[in-house]
Homo-oligomer: A and B are copies of this chain.
Amino acid sequence: MEKWKDVKKVVLAYSGGLDTSIILKWLQTELGAEVITFTADLGQGEELEPARRKAEMLGAKQIFMEDLREEFVRDFVFPMFRANAVYEGVYLLGTSIARPLISKHLIEIAKKTGADAIAHGATGKGNDQVRFELSAYALNPDIKIIAPWRDWNFKSRTELLDFAQKHQIPVTKDKQGEAPFSVDANLLHSSSEGKVLEDPSLPAPEYVHLRTVSPENAPDKPTIITIGFKKGDAVSINGKQMSPATLLTELNKYGHDNGIGRVDLVENRFVGMKSRGVYETPGGTILLAAHRAIESITLDRGAAHLKDELMPRYAELIYNGFWFSPERKMLQAAIDLSQENVEGEVKLKLYKGNVIIQGRKSDKSLYSSSLVTFEDDHGAYNQKDAAGFIKLNALRLRTLAARDRK
């Protein structure tokens, strides 16, 4: 391919699935390039070893495999949850937040192996191509990025399958027909899009859901858990300290069993169109509620409101792929500073899709029952101060009303 004729060595983000297997072959045949594969365990719930065997079989020159679950949760998911980030009111950014991590490793492997290019299997219509590539460019401005879905000449699924057959790429039975929807998954969430989900006026079939039982099928008895926080991050469940990935895995189980974290949405992609997705974020949904609850007693109003105002922009940056941008880092610096004293425990009731706050407590609590009480507060608060407070807050409004009356 003329365009990539100088490329000698490519690091491919390889899942072991049909599409990236075709890409692995295509890069060799079409570009004549050496291919190095990188397969990461992000908690997508698949074993990695089959991917290794397949990569070997398909001619990969070097194979990198890594368990990134702890790095993923510690350095990407948790910082994002400090911000209470939600995109367009509902989406917890489960796919968006994984992409920069993969790019980081692709770039590192490229450096280590002297590769001049990286490649990914994201299509030209989605957000993921943007996230992969912006992240990669931000880490290595000279890297070449190959997105075969944008470049190759396959015109139909049939042509793709023909190519696969021709190059002895194994095609599992269920892939020979069309998958009924497309899936992305990691430790934070799974997303399902396309095909049977393309009509937003129809509900998602139950079988689309991968990470949760339905609220209807969840147990009739609530589950009570307590999450402990330190510096804004969850550190324990029911008093037991856990590593970030262990903790999120555990929360995912609680969420799964109690039908928590399903979202059916239509979102606005960065590339300009609307798309419909069904997302499941069982543990994340619990975590968000718990984090807001611990913040509610440990965060000052000024910090809390500033966070709320900055959040939509922060979420948009992550959604659009700007994790490694200066502006995301600036916002992160502000957010992280606010989390210093966000610690304590939140008790939650999980019940058929609901995450219900049962209590929060903290040594760093700013809640003062002596200030707020309807009872005698022994002078903690002077109600007469309120008169002056209101008078001065009203002054400009009164001046305005007097003017406008004229």
**A contact set with B: CB distance below 8 Å:** 84, 88-90, 123-125, 129-130, 133-134, 137-142, 147, 149-150, 155-156, 182, 194-195, 198-203, 215-216, 222, 262, 264-269, 271-276, 292-293, 296-297, 300-309, 311-313, 316, 321-322, 324-327, 329-331, 333-338, 341, 347, 349, 351-354, 356-361, 363-369, 371-374, 376, 381-406
Shortest Cβ distance from A107 into chain B, in angstroms?
10
- Check A338 against B312 for contact (C-beta < 8 Å): no
Given the known A-B contacts A141-B401, A268-B304, are A392 and B394 also in contact in the complex, defined by CB atoms under 8 Å? no
Shortest Cβ distance from A259 into chain B, in angstroms?
8
In the complex, what residue of chain B is closest to A307 when comparing beta carbons?
A: B330
Additional A-B contact list (9), CB under 8 Å, known A200-B367, A330-B338, A364-B403? A84-B89, A138-B397, A200-B359, A200-B360, A200-B361, A216-B351, A264-B358, A326-B400, A352-B353
Residues of B within 8 A of A268 (CB): 300-301, 304-305, 396
Residue in B195, B302, B309 whose CB lies within 8 Å of A396: B302
CA distance A282 to B287 in the complex (A): 24
Shortest Cβ distance from A173 into chain B, in angstroms?
20
User: Which 6 residue pairs of A and B lie closest in terms of their CB atoms, listed nearest first?
Assistant: A388-B388, A124-B383, A272-B395, A385-B388, A141-B398, A268-B301
Residues of B within 8 A of A374 (CB): 123, 125, 182, 194-195
Residue picked from A337, A352, A359, A395, most chain B C-beta under 10 Å: A395
- Check B335 against A138 for contact (C-beta < 8 Å): no
CA distance A349 to B331 in the complex (A): 36
- Check B198 against A373 for contact (C-beta < 8 Å): yes
